[in-house]
Amino acid sequence: MAGRSSSDISRSILGVAFCFLALNSIWARGAGSPKLSADEVDALRLIAKALKKTNWDFSVDPCSGRRDWSVPNPIKGMESTVDCDCSFNNSSVCHTVTVWLKGQNLTGVLPPEFARLRHLRQLDLSRNLLNGTVPPQWATMQLQGLSLMGNRLSGPFPKAVTNITTLTNLSIEANLFSGPLPTELGNLVHMDKLVISSNDFTGELPASLAKLTNLTDLRISDNNFSGRIPDFIGKLTKLEKLLIQGSSLEGSIPNSISALTSLTDLRISDLRGRPSRFPDLEEMESLKTVILRNCSIHGSIPDYVGEMKHLKNIDLSFNKLIGEIPKNFDKLGKVDFMYLTGNRLTGPIPEWILTRNKNAYVGHALIFMKTESIFSIVMFQSFRQTIPAPLSVQCLE
């Protein structure tokens, strides 16, 4: 009896000792888990104060992914996330690599303390209420992606940005920046995407942009530039998306654009100047969207446009196009929207237009097909010959 009691006591002592060692091991692992460096924590505190970001909880490590440091399932256009890389110094130290603060109603100026996050690679402060300009301290950053779109930033193109030569993605769309584009913009030779639309940039497009041969996405719409679309645009042969709408440029679309055979999205509008021929797009077999609106293009629509098998949207409105709609346009089975208004086209409206559950805007009367979905045709000018009118069509003057 006494022997059994002694044995039980021994097992109990061993059990307690094992639990203690296990807990101690867990505690040791927790205590030794990598955390964000103290300098970066301090920088984030100053950033939060400057931007009035009140929901960052500094009682937990910013790299923990807990609390408001990483918001799960963000609403589209709104996101608050801090991501870290904890592989430094044999996985003993974390550094901030991504900060996304999109649509957070942040106010104030851009904090220079972001430059203290020396391992930061992605910074997105889009859709906030930030003003001022990019602080000069940012020139030392090693960013790959920077989005400041949809704020109230102003002044000339930020010089600090032209020194961040690691950038591959830059968006400063929808701000109040003004003045000419700096020649130093050509320093950003790794740039894949450049979006500067909806500002008040002026002057001619600098020749240094020709150095950005890695661009696949260039958007410069809605500015106040002068001069023509430069011939060097044809050197940017990797472009897949080119948007130059309402930018106050003039003259014809350069012949060199024919070299951009990788384009899937081409949008040019509101070019002032003398009438010019339809640009050569024949080799652009991947085009899905073509907008050449109000570009003073004259002559007939090339037949090859009807062979663009991937085309979904086409807008050739408000030019000086003549002749009939090419007969092979009936092959454009994927087209959802077609705009040919404001031209001098003649001949009948092709019957295939009236049999598609799509949207085509080509002339002077408004026609609705009584099908499962509305198919509308708007005619502003020219089509004075007979319009095919099946029983299911109503014409409204």
Residue 70 DSSP SS3: strand
98 — alpha (psi -120 to 50), left (phi > 0) or beta?
beta
d(CA 201, CA 175): 10
Q: Which residue has the tokens 């709609």?
A: 325
d(CA 131, CA 154): 7
All structural domains of the chain: 34-132 (3.80.10.10)
* pLDDT tens for the 397 residues of the chain, in order: 445 555 554 455 444 444 433 333 333 334 457 889 999 999 999 999 999 999 899 999 999 877 678 776 667 778 899 999 998 877 778 999 999 999 999 999 999 999 999 999 999 999 999 999 999 999 999 999 999 999 999 999 999 999 999 999 999 999 999 999 999 999 999 999 999 999 999 999 999 999 999 999 999 999 999 999 999 999 999 999 999 999 999 999 999 999 999 999 999 999 999 999 999 999 999 999 999 999 999 999 999 999 999 999 999 999 999 999 999 998 888 888 999 999 999 888 777 777 765 676 666 433 333 333 333 344 444 444 444 444 333 333 3
3-state secondary structure 100-169: EEECCCCEEECCHHHHHCCCCCEEECCCCEEEECCCHHHHHCCCCEEECCCCEEEECCCHHHHCCCCCCE
pLDDT of residue 127: 97
d(CA 106, CA 127): 9
